[in-house]
Chains A and B, each alone.
Chain A
């Protein structure tokens, strides 16, 4: 069991209020180090808000977010955490290489990292092209490449595979697993439930609350569902009494909950 490993991310009682509406209401969550954790939920469930809180750009109304043992957004985390937002955040009027070189300087990475990243996101042949002239999928790979420059210990990826063709999607997931095997922790959001099987752990989010925090086999066993989609529906419809052992309890109960689930 990896439950003894220190958590890459620990969220306790996180509240976010936007425009008078509570987007996240007292959320608890732990991302174990070195794992691929999938954050699944419909749009509007709070995935992006949670990820922004983890990388320290979200105003919060309460609770704690601890990343790699430091408060989220801490100065010392800015090189150690890579963030890719849903819309590609790179300069459309610069070339791929110019974008990577600028962010490499910003992150204290070198020219060798630029070359490595171009290979990792398979954009070597596009290096001299202006980002604005690339397809949507290529742009989001440039954005992912920027996050990989400094070899971060934690990668926070907001829907990184949307709109990509299946071959590329498979390649990217292979990259994610390679990074995870090298010790990187990954928090990846998706609204495509079938990406669940590629994750070590799943967090199901709905209306700013964690419906389940578990592994895929445990989730299916406890809900008696055939796939994640059905498990999600099962949990929503049993909303009044959620499967208690699947909901992440505040720190400490995690190991017990996990043991119970895998029985």
Chain B
């Protein structure tokens, strides 16, 4: 791995994104639209203040997961991944290059979405706002890292799309959105503890209830650990030689 090749790869991915207006719209505008609909639905109630912060973490994760896994599978199917594997580029350069590029998009997405939620929809966060943005960014980067790992495992774009519900839905069900974790059956609670989204949403719930960085530090460490783990899976599953 080399910093120069990783950064060159990240710059190349961003350049590709710049030519792809639809994906940028999907990344930045779509979460705002959905959040706007939720705000409209619950207008005049305090629901947005409690649920809104959770959505700031959830939408970016799902969207980034999908966009990343499709982007990296295109890389595979166009033959450019195989070509890169005949060059001095390391597997880590490819995976971390993608993570950096989409991580930057995640920052943009989190900033735009939070600004939209607070200034346009009137969301009122009891906790510290910049920590909400930080958690949203980390959740989006987690989505990217999971997408990179999934596409390293998947063999086709179709499989990657099939993996989305497999990876995302169980996390949604057990993350504590529908039922607080401590009220779940013991087995489900254990499953919940093994899922990365749980910790992202836990942090956001804490923030919605008025918490700050000190209250969510533990959860954030777990999310970062999952990000690093998923990137390692992605980089090690990639093969220079294929059948």
Residues of A within 8 A of B (CB): 18-19, 55-60, 73, 75, 78-79, 81, 83, 85, 87-94, 98, 102-103, 105-108, 130, 146
Which of B4, B11, B79 touches A87 (beta carbons < 8 Å)? B79
Interface size on B (CB < 8 Å)?
A: 25
- CB-CB under 8 A from A73, the residues of chain B are 240-241
Give me 16 A-to-B residue pairs in the complex whose CB atoms sit less than 8 angstroms apart, sorted by A's number.
A19-B243, A56-B240, A57-B85, A58-B241, A59-B241, A59-B243, A73-B240, A79-B88, A83-B83, A93-B16, A102-B11, A102-B12, A105-B8, A106-B9, A106-B84, A106-B89
Given contacts A89-B79, A106-B87, 20 further A-B contacts (CB under 8 A): A18-B243, A58-B241, A58-B242, A75-B88, A78-B86, A78-B88, A81-B86, A88-B79, A89-B78, A89-B80, A91-B78, A92-B78, A94-B15, A94-B16, A94-B19, A102-B9, A105-B4, A106-B88, A106-B89, A146-B83
| B82, closest chain A residue (CB) | A57
The CA-CA distance from A83 to B79 in the complex, in Å, is: 11
The CA-CA distance from A58 to B243 in the complex, in Å, is: 6
- CB-CB under 8 A from A93, the residues of chain B are 16, 19-20
B111 at the interface (CB under 8 A from A): no
The 9 closest A-B pairs by CB, nearest first: A89-B79, A105-B8, A89-B83, A102-B12, A78-B88, A59-B241, A93-B19, A55-B86, A93-B16
Interface string of B1-38 (1 = CB under 8 A from A): 00011001101100110011000000000000000000
Residues of B within 8 A of A (CB): 4-5, 8-9, 11-12, 15-16, 19-20, 78-80, 82-89, 240-243
| A147, closest chain B residue (CB) | B83
Q: A57-B242, A59-B241, A91-B12 are in contact. Are A107 and B19 (CB under 8 A)?
A: no
| A104, closest chain B residue (CB) | B8
Q: Assess the A91–B86 pair: CB atoms within 8 A.
A: no
Within the complex, the shortest CB–CB distance from A68 to chain B, in Å, comes to 14
Q: Assess the A78–B12 pair: CB atoms within 8 A.
A: no
Within the complex, the shortest CB–CB distance from B239 to chain A, in Å, comes to 8
Which of B8, B20, B83, B86 touches A56 (beta carbons < 8 Å)? B86
The CA-CA distance from A103 to B9 in the complex, in Å, is: 9
The CA-CA distance from A48 to B216 in the complex, in Å, is: 54
Question: Do most interface residues of chain A lie in helix, strand or loop, or is the interface mixed?
Answer: loop
Q: A73-B240, A94-B12, A105-B5 are in contact. Are A83 and B19 (CB under 8 A)?
A: no
Within the complex, the shortest CB–CB distance from A33 to chain B, in Å, comes to 20
Which of B4, B9, B15, B240 touches A98 (beta carbons < 8 Å)? B15
- CB-CB under 8 A from A87, the residues of chain B are 78-79
Within the complex, the shortest CB–CB distance from B163 to chain A, in Å, comes to 23
- CB-CB under 8 A from B80, the residues of chain A are 89-91
With most chain A CB atoms within 10 A of its CB, the pick from B4, B19, B87 is B87
Q: Assess the B16–A91 pair: CB atoms within 8 A.
A: yes
- CB-CB under 8 A from A92, the residues of chain B are 78
- CB-CB under 8 A from B83, the residues of chain A are 83, 85, 89, 146
| B89, closest chain A residue (CB) | A106
Q: Assess the B15–A103 pair: CB atoms within 8 A.
A: no
Q: A90-B80, A91-B80, A102-B8 are in contact. Are A78 and B19 (CB under 8 A)?
A: no
- CB-CB under 8 A from B12, the residues of chain A are 91, 94, 98, 102
- CB-CB under 8 A from B8, the residues of chain A are 102, 105-106
- CB-CB under 8 A from B11, the residues of chain A are 102
- CB-CB under 8 A from B4, the residues of chain A are 105
- CB-CB under 8 A from A55, the residues of chain B are 86
The CA-CA distance from A90 to B9 in the complex, in Å, is: 14
Within the complex, the shortest CB–CB distance from A61 to chain B, in Å, comes to 10
The CA-CA distance from A157 to B89 in the complex, in Å, is: 20
The CA-CA distance from A60 to B243 in the complex, in Å, is: 8
The CA-CA distance from A50 to B79 in the complex, in Å, is: 17
Which of B16, B86, B242 touches A83 (beta carbons < 8 Å)? B86
With most chain B CB atoms within 10 A of its CB, the pick from A57, A90, A92 is A57
With most chain B CB atoms within 10 A of its CB, the pick from A18, A59, A105 is A105
The CA-CA distance from A81 to B88 in the complex, in Å, is: 11
Q: Assess the B243–A106 pair: CB atoms within 8 A.
A: no
Q: A56-B86, A91-B78, A91-B80 are in contact. Are A106 and B5 (CB under 8 A)?
A: yes
| A150, closest chain B residue (CB) | B87
- CB-CB under 8 A from A58, the residues of chain B are 241-242
Q: A18-B243, A59-B242, A73-B240 are in contact. Are A85 and B15 (CB under 8 A)?
A: no
